[in-house]
Amino acid sequence: MVKSVTITLNVTDPTSGTYNLYALKRDWWKDYATWNNYGPGYKWEIPGAKGTLDRGTTVLGTITAPSIGKRTITLNAAGIALVQSWVDDPSTNDGIIIADPTVSDGVVFDSRETSPASNRPKLTITYAAP
């Protein structure tokens, strides 16, 4: 059983805003996903994955990043339940999106291709054995 979940990001361009995390609802393709599409020939309901068919409406956690460096996001109960659902049925894992339509500046963080590996996004799950 999942007890807690954190996501650690290495921020390279800070923001003055607060961003929310939401569950994605579409099986997006990492090599093809763009602002307009989640796969080749497949459009988001609303660009930026803003539609109710694209992502959930429940906030799973928040990130504030007023300076560069590592930031750890602690997922709330809804986020923990989402990760538990992935453990129970891995085919339901469509990921999480970080977004906030009211923030005018962006936040930039290292991706999974970044070197060194210690700066890549990291999902940490604490669980209790059955």
The per-residue pLDDT for range 79-93, each reduced to its tens digit, is 999 999 999 999 999
For the cut 80, the answer to whether the pLDDT of residue 66 exceeds it is yes
Nearest of 86, 111, 105 to residue 33 by alpha carbon: 111
For the cut 90, the answer to whether the pLDDT of residue 129 exceeds it is no
Q: Is the pTM of this model over 0.85?
A: yes
For the cut 90, the answer to whether the pLDDT of residue 102 exceeds it is no
Which domain, by its residues, includes 82?
2-127
* In the block, residue with structure tokens 């650690």: 8
Q: Total domain count for the chain?
A: 1
End-to-end CA distance of the chain: 7
Most confident of 23-32, 75-84, 104-113: 75-84
> What are 60's two structure tokens?
């799973």
For the cut 90, the answer to whether the pLDDT of residue 61 exceeds it is yes
CB neighbour class for 98 (10 Å; exposed up to 12, middle 13-18, buried from 19): middle
Amino acid making up residue 117? A
At residue 119, φ and ψ (nearest 5 deg) are: -95, 0
What is the average pLDDT across 10-25? 94
List, in sequence order, the alpha helices (H) in the chain. Answer: 77-88
For the cut 90, the answer to whether the pLDDT of residue 74 exceeds it is yes
Amino acid making up residue 17? G
